[in-house]
DNA sequence: TTGTACGCGTTATCAG
DNA sequence: CTGATAACGCGTACAA
C-alpha cells in the first residue's frame, strides 16, 4: 500500500509540512490563494489521506467510543447499539462494539483493551463483576456510562428500564384477562444481575398486591439450555401455570420452541407475555403480547451522555429510568 | 484521565524507556532478574497501560480490520459479522463495523474513513457503486475481500452463496410438492445487485427446466415498503400464485405480515419458502421452510482470508461459492 | 545487560 | 503569510 504522507504533499507543492497541516485544518486566514491551490492540487494528484492515527496521538483523542454489551444475543443489545451508532455518527464519532458474553473476565479484558486503544469514552452493559475497575475509572474521571444495568455502590450514570414496572404491566394484564396461576422464567442464574432481580421483584410484588398465590415453583431463573426441561416439569404438574412471563427475548424463544414441540395452544392452554419487543412478535400466530423497552431512546441518551462527558460536561443524575410499554396482541 | 506513559514507568523503576519496551515485548533474553521485577512492580504501582495508538503509528499496523455491510438490517449481515468477529478475536484483531445502507456514497465515505484510521484490511459487502475505488485499492495491493456479492470487472476475492442454486432448491421443492403457479419477490430494485439477479435467474431457469409457466407478473423486485401493495395486487388476480419465494429475510417478514393481515393459510392458500434462515423460522406456525446460507463458514473464511492477505499471503481463487441448504419445514 | 538517539505522521508554537 | 522545530508515546538499531 502506497502510503503518501503530509511530507510528500509538502514537497510536491513546494511548501512546508506545517502549511499543509494548516490547510487541512481550514486555518487559511492568512494563506495565499496560490499556495492554497498548489496544495489542493498536490493532495489531489497524490491521493493523499491524512493519517488519523498520527493525529490521534498528537491530539490525545480518537473520536471513538467503546461499547461493551453483556450479551449480544439479546435483540435489545443490537437495537441499542444501532441507536448509539446513529447518534454518534452525527458527531463523527465511531464505535467499537465488544461482547462480554456475560463473563466478567472478558469484560475486564475488553475494558483494558479499549483504554489501550485510547477510546474517548465507554458505554458498558456491566456484568457487575469488576467493581474495583469501575471505581477506578470513575475516580479517574474517565467518561463512562452504564446501560441496561446498574452496579450497586458504583456511582456511574446508568440508563435503565423501569424493570419492576415492566413485570408489573405484564402481570396486571394477565390478571385483567382472568389468569390466576401465573409463572415467570428468567435467565442469568449465576450472575447477580439487577435487571433480572428487579423484574422478578416486580412480578412478585404485583402478584402479592392482587392477593394471588405465588408458587416459587413457577418462578424460575435458568440457563437457556435448562429451560426446555424445566418447562416440561412445570407444565405437567396437577395445577400448572396458565400464564407465563418471559423475562427476556431468549426465554421467549425457548418457550415458543416448547409450545410448538408440544402442540400447546396459545393463549387457550397457556397465555404468554414477553419482556422485549422482538421483530416477529406481530407476525407470529398468535401475535405476541410484549412489554417493549424504548430501545432507541435509551441508546440515544447513552450516546448523548457519553459525548457530553467527553466534552467535560456532566449534567445527568446518576440513574435514569425509562418507561416500558405494554403492547397488547393475541397471546394474552 | 491520568495518562501514565512508558517514561513514567522507566523513571519509577530506574531504567530507561527501551528497557521497559523490551520487557513489554517479552524480549528478556538478556534482562536481569531484578530489573524485570522492578519494572513489573512499577507497572503494577502506576497502573500503566501501553498506548496502542502510539505503537500503531510506529509499527504501521493497527490489528484492526474494517467491515462494511451493505445493509445491516439483514439477519445474514449480523450473523456473518459475528462469525468474522469470533475468528478475528482469536488472532487478537478487532473489527469496526459500518453500515453503508445500500448507498454507494456512504460506502465510499466509510472506505476512506477506515483507510484514514489505518485499518489493516477491509471486508466489504459491496454496493457495487464504487468501481473506481475498488480498483484503486486492488491495484495498491491493499488487503480486501468481498462478501455476499461480487463486482463485475473487479478482481477482488469474493465469498458468495451459490445464489442460483438457492432459488433452484426452493423452486424444485415447490414443484415436488405439486405447486405450479410459483412467484418470487426480491428487494433492491435500484441497485444492480448480483445477489438479486442471480437468485432471479436461478428461479427462472428452474421454472423453465421444468416446463412450468413463467408469469413476469409473479416475479417482482420491490422496495420493502412497496411489498404490501404488490402482494395485494398479485394475490387478487384470477389465477394467483400458489407458492411464493422470498428473496431474503426482509421480504419474508413482509409476506408474513401480509399473510397475517389477510388471514391467509399457509401452506393451504399459499406456500412459502424464504432464502435466509431466520431465528424464528422453526418456531413459527407453521414452521417456515427456508434455504439457509452457511453464514458461519462464510464469515470465517472471509476473516481467514483477510488475515492471510494482511500477512502478505494470498492463496484463494477470486471467487468462492458456498452451498445453500434447503431446510424443509411446514410452510411448503 | 542497559541506555541513547532517532523515526513514525501529525499538530502547535513561535519566529521570520 | 510561511516555515522551522519541538512534542505526542512507542519501538529499535546501535552503542556502551
Q: For the segment B68-82, what is each residue's pLDDT rounded down to a tens digit? A: 999 999 999 999 999
Cell numbers linked to B210: 421444468
What's the pLDDT tens digit per position in A58-79? 999 999 999 999 999 999 999 9
Q: Is B55 near strand D, with its CB below 7 A from some atom of it? A: yes
What was the pLDDT predicted at B29? 65
Identify the bridge partners of residue B319 per DSSP, sorted by sequence position: B158
- In three-state secondary structure terms, B98 is strand
Closest CA to A67 of A34, A93, A45, A31: A93
Exposed/middle/buried for residue B43 (C-beta within 10 Å: 0-12, 13-18, 19+): buried
**What does the alpha-carbon distance between residue B108 and residue B165 come to, in Å, rounded to a whole number?**
31
CA of residue B95 to C1' of nucleotide D9, angstroms:
24
Tell me the per-residue pLDDT of B23-45, one tens digit each, with 9 for 90 and over. Answer: 998 766 667 888 888 999 999 99
Which of A138-142, B213-217, B325-329 has the highest mean predicted lDDT (pLDDT)?
B325-329
**Percent of chain B beyond pLDDT 70?**
97
Burial B268-298 (b: 16+ CB within 10 A, else e): eebbbbbbbbbbbbbbbebbbbbbbbbbeeb
Q: In which band, very low, low, confident or very high, does the pLDDT at B1 lie, cut at 50, 70 and 90? A: low
Alpha-carbon gap: A49 to the closest alpha carbon of chain B (Å): 6
| pLDDT-derived band at B191, boundaries 50, 70, 90 | low
Does A257 contact chain B (CB < 8 Å)? yes
What is the DSSP secondary-structure string of A70-89?
S-TTSHHHHHHHHHHHHHHH
What's chain A's average pLDDT? 93
Residues from chain B contacting residue A279 (CB–CB below 8 Å): 253
Give yes or no for residue A1 having a pLDDT over 80. no
pLDDT, residue B34, reads 86
Contact B140 A279 (CB under 8 A): no
Q: How high is the pLDDT of residue A30?
A: 64
CA-based nearest distance A300→chain B, Å: 18
Cβ of residue A77 near strand D, that is under 7 Å? no
Q: Do B118 and A94 touch (CB under 8 A)?
A: no
For the cut 80, the answer to whether the pLDDT of residue A50 exceeds it is: yes
The three grid cell numbers given for residue B112, joined into one nine-digit string: 476512506
Residues 133-172 of B with CB under 7 A from strand D: none
Query: Has residue A211 got a pLDDT over 80?
Result: yes
Q: What is the pLDDT of residues A263-289, one digit of tens each?
A: 999 999 999 999 999 999 999 999 999
Q: From the C1' of C5, which residue's alpha carbon is nearest?
A: B18
For B214, residues 6+ apart whose C-beta sits below 8 A from its C-beta are B204, B207, B208
Q: Give the pLDDT score at B39.
A: 92
User: Cβ of B238 under 8 Å from any chain A Cβ?
Assistant: no
The predicted structure's pLDDT at residue A33? 83
Cβ–Cβ below 8 Å for B51 and A3: no
What percent of chain A clears pLDDT 90, i.e. is strictly above it? 88
CA–C1' distance A296–C11 (Å)? 38
Question: What are the structural domains of chain A?
Answer: 6-50 (1.10.260.40), 62-161+295-322 (3.40.50.2300), 163-293 (3.40.50.2300)
H helices of B47-130, in order, are: 52-59, 75-90, 104-116
The answer to whether the C-beta of B30 is closer than 7 A to strand D is no
Distance from CA(A48) to C1'(D1), angstroms, rounded? 24
Show Cβ contacts of residue B89 under 8 Å, excluding neighbours closer than 6 positions.
none
Q: Please list every residue in chain A whose beta carbon sits closer than 8 Å to the beta carbon of residue B279.
A: 253
Asked if residue B89 keeps its beta carbon closer than 7 A to nucleic acid strand D, the reply is: no
Which one of A278, A283, A290 would you mutate to disrupt binding with B, by most B Cβ within 10 Å of its Cβ?
A: A283
Cβ <8 Å between A260 and B282: yes
Nucleotides of D under 7 A from a protein CB: 1-5, 7-13
Residues 41-60 (B) with a CB less than 8 A from some CB of A: 47, 49-54, 56-57, 60
CA of B30 to C1' of C14 (A): 45
Question: Between chains, do A283 and B62 touch, taking CB under 8 Å as contact?
Answer: no
pLDDT of residue A28: 62
- pLDDT higher than threshold 80 for residue A191: no
- List protein-proximal bases of chain C (any atom < 7 A from a CB): 1-5, 7-13
Q: Please provide the average confidence, as pLDDT, over all residues in chain B.
A: 93
pLDDT attached to residue A27 = 66
Q: What is the pLDDT of residue A53?
A: 96
| CB proximity A1 to B under 8 Å | yes
Report the distance separating Cα B315 and Cα B312, nearest Å: 10
Which of B53, B112, B283 faces A56 most closely, judged by CB atoms?
Answer: B53
Residue B317: per-residue pLDDT:
72
Whole-angstrom Cα distance, residue A97 to residue A77?
11
Higher-pLDDT residue of A213, B287: B287
Average pLDDT value for residue range B234-238: 92
pLDDT tens, position by position, A29-42: 667 788 888 999 99
Amino acid at each position: 500500500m502506497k502510503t503518501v504522507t503530509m511530507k510528500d504533499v509538502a514537497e510536491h507543492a513546494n511548501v512546508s509540512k506545517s502549511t499543509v497541516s494548516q490547510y487541512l485544518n481550514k486555518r487559511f486566514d492568512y494563506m495565499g490563494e496560490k499556495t492554497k491551490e498548489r496544495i489542493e492540487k498536490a493532495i489531489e494528484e497524490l491521493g493523499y489521506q491524512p493519517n488519523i492515527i498520527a493525529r490521534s496521538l498528537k491530539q490525545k483523542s480518537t473520536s471513538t467510543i467503546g461499547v461493551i454489551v453483556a450479551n449480544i444475543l439479546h435483540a435489545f443489545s443490537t437495537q441499542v447499539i444501532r441507536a448509539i451508532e446513529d447518534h454518534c455518527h452525527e458527531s463523527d464519532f465511531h464505535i467499537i462494539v465488544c461482547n462480554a458474553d456475560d463473563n466478567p473476565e472478558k469484560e475486564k479484558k475488553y475494558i483494558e483493551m479499549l483504554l489501550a486503544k485510547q477510546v474517548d469514552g465507554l458505554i458498558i452493559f456491566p456484568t457487575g463483576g469488576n467493581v474495583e475497575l469501575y471505581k477506578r475509572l470513575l475516580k479517574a474521571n474517565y467518561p463512562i456510562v452504564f446501560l441496561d444495568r446498574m452496579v450497586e455502590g458504583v456511582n456511574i450514570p446508568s440508563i435503565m428500564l423501569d424493570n419492576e414496572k415492566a413485570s408489573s404491566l405484564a402481570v396486571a394484564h394477565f390478571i385483567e384477562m382472568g389468569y390466576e396461576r401465573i409463572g415467570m422464567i428468567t435467565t442469568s442464574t449465576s450472575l447477580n444481575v439487577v435487571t433480572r432481580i428487579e423484574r422478578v421483584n416486580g412480578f412478585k410484588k404485583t402478584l402479592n398486591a392482587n392477593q394471588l398465590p405465588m408458587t416459587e415453583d413457577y418462578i424460575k431463573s435458568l440457563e437457556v439450555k435448562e429451560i426446555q426441561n424445566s418447562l416440561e416439569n412445570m407444565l405437567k404438574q396437577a395445577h400448572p401455570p396458565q400464564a407465563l412471563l418471559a423475562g427476556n427475548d431468549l426465554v421467549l424463544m425457548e418457550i415458543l420452541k416448547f409450545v410448538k414441540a408440544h402442540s400447546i395452544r396459545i393463549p387457550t392452554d397457556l397465555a404468554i407475555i414477553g419482556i422485549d419487543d422482538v421483530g416477529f412478535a406481530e407476525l407470529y400466530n398468535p401475535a405476541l403480547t410484549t412489554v417493549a423497552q424504548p430501545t432507541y431512546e435509551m441508546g440515544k441518551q447513552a450516546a448523548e451522555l457519553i459525548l457530553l462527558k467527553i466534552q467535560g460536561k456532566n449534567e445527568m443524575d446518576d440513574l435514569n429510568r425509562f418507561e416500558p410499554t405494554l403492547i397488547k396482541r393475541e397471546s394474552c
